[in-house]
Structure 1
Amino acid sequence: MREIGRILSPHGLRGEVKVLCLSDFPERFTQPGQRWYSLPHQPDYYPLTLVRSRPVPGKNLYIVQFQELPDCDQAGALRGATLWVEAANRPPLAPDEFYVPDLIGLTAWQGGEPLGQITGVIPAGNDLLEITTPTGRVHWVPFVRELVPQVDVDQGRLELRLPPGLLELNHPQSKTPGFA
């Protein structure tokens, strides 16, 4: 299952809910069909059928009507619930695009040797791969084709082609005298 949103509160008297979108794919909230929800601190998933929705202008919110929520009392019972879709229902990506959860855990290889595991992806102008070595040292590498020419999710690895000194940028060996 993949998390796509969170039910914030009921909206109106007819069972609509205000949903915070946590997905890069807004069609998750514009196309009718089955979704799932889970309640905080409970492991089970329950089905919901999205009937219709509308975006809240200027915000990352949607007003959503689910078939199973006919009134505000039932909608209120799902306050704080997480919305999910099945992982198999992910929209297809263009070549050289990846889902962040698929990158986490890959082994980063540099010069034919494993450097460490991808432990995070930091959104920035160009996303940064957070690579943690077996010793616990953390490196950040821009996720661009010039530095990461090959990603093989099925094999659990990606190849790095880094210029000399890039890995040492965040880990200076000694401070330069005269600088605080």
Structure 2
Amino acid sequence: MTEYLNVGKIVNTHGIRGEVRVISQTDFPEERYQKGATLVLFREHKAPLELTVAGHRKHKNFDLLTFEGYPNINDVEPFRDGILKVSKEDLVDLEENEFYYHEIIGLTVVEEDGRVIGKVKEILSPGANDVWVVQRKGQKDALIPYIESVVKKIDLENEVVTVEIPEGLLDDAD
């Protein structure tokens, strides 16, 4: 059975020319949404529908997509609340030291001395670098920037991330 990964959620239509408004959940929007890319739409009580991207543009915090063969708002209205996914087989091999979000979320974060900080719960991409939200027992979530000076080693096999926390980064939690 094919495994799928979420790339976005269709939250609404946009205009009358068959555009849909997508809240993106992919690390690679320019690749996932490029013209000719294949996405699979999953909706409740309906068979998955394969769609081919006809157009993509950014608008505010959304990605706006059009699909081949769906030129009109009435064609895409039923897509609302659907989840766009990509087949895991369509994943591109990443460069060394690049990872997909789904590979990082759930990993245990430890300091270099072996002290466990918590588990990666989600990844935010507010700007220049991603920020990992690390869930800790009995404490506020820690926000760890995904930068070389902090994230020292990612071991997918053992599901562990080793970090060097700069002084002051986690002080609020102690």
TM-score, normalised to structure 2, is 0.73
- In structure 2, the partner of 1:171 is 173
5 Å-filtered alignment, 1:89-104, equals 89-104=90-105
Per-residue CA distance 1:141-173 (angstroms, 9 max, x = gap): 2221112110112321111122444321x236x
Instruction: Give the match's secondary structure for 2:147.
Output: coil
RMSD: 3.0
- In structure 1, the partner of 2:13 is 9
Give me the identity figure in percent.
17
Q: Residue 161 of structure 1 aligns to which amino acid in structure 2? A: E
- 2: distance between equivalents of 1:43 and 1:156? 35
- In structure 2, do the counterparts of structure 1 residues 148 and 65 end up closer, same or farther at CA, with 3 Å as the change threshold? closer
Q: Are residues 1:113 and 2:100 paired?
A: no
Unaligned runs of 5+ in 2: none
Q: Residue 2 of structure 1 aligns to which amino acid in structure 2? A: L
- In structure 2, the partner of 1:160 is 163
- Number of equivalenced pairs: 165
Instruction: Give the match's secondary structure for 1:76.
Output: helix
TM-score, normalised to structure 1, is 0.71
- In structure 1, the partner of 2:33 is 29
Q: Are residues 1:139 and 2:142 paired?
A: yes
Unaligned runs of 5+ in 1: 173-180
- Of structures 1 and 2, the larger Rg is shown by 1
Structure 1 contact 10–75 (Cα < 8 Å) conserved: no
- In structure 1, the partner of 2:152 is 149
Structure 2 contact 107–120 (Cα < 8 Å) conserved: yes
- 2: distance between equivalents of 1:61 and 1:165? 37
- In structure 1, the partner of 2:131 is 128
Further displaced range: 126-135 or 105-114: 126-135
Per-residue CA distance 1:93-117 (angstroms, 9 max, x = gap): 2222222222111001111232211
- In structure 2, do the counterparts of structure 1 residues 5 and 136 end up closer, same or farther at CA, with 3 Å as the change threshold? same
> CA offset at residue 46 of structure 1?
0.7
Instruction: Give the match's secondary structure for 2:85.
Output: strand
